[in-house]
């Protein structure tokens, strides 16, 4: 199970940028497309206190926020522990 969960839509450029960041650093994530998954939308609304924007990102069950907050976390080194270690 991935430690990262992202709620997104198919037409959101910031969602794509967040997923690109995770892919670049080989960070596994679970994606919930709230534009096609009504149960996923309900789950996102409950977990985020009714946030209406995407992406909404959770790491280890903790709400990070959206793409801007993810970028800040990354710049502060907060994603380092999620990146695969070189052998």
Residue 87 lies in a domain: no
Contact between 83 and 23 under an 8 Å Cβ cutoff? The reply is: no
Contact between 8 and 57 under an 8 Å Cβ cutoff? The reply is: no
How many structural domains compose the chain? 1
Dihedral sign for Cα 50, 56, 59, 64, please. negative
Backbone angles phi, psi at 57, to 5 degrees: -120, 135
pLDDT classification of 53: cutoffs 50, 70, 90: very high
Backbone angles phi, psi at 86, to 5 degrees: -75, 135
pLDDT tens digits, 1-47:
569 999 999 999 999 999 999 999 999 999 999 999 999 999 999 99
| Residue 58 β-bridge partners | 5, 63
Residue 27 lies in a domain: yes
Q: What is the CATH number of the domain that holds 50?
A: 3.40.30.10
* 87, pLDDT greater than 60: no
The domain in which residue 68 lies consists of 4-82
Contact between 32 and 40 under an 8 Å Cβ cutoff? The reply is: yes
């Amino acid at each position: 199970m991935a430690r990262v969960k992202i709620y997104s839509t198919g037409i959101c450029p910031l969602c794509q940028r967040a997923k690109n960041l995770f892919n670049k650093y080989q960070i596994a994530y679970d994606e919930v497309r709230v534009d096609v998954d009504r149960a996923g939308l309900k789950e996102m609304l409950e977990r985020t206190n009714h946030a209406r924007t995407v992406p909404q990102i959770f790491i280890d069950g903790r709400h990070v926020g959206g793409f801007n907050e993810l970028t800040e976390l990354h710049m502060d080194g907060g994603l380092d522990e999620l990146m695969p270690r070189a052998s």
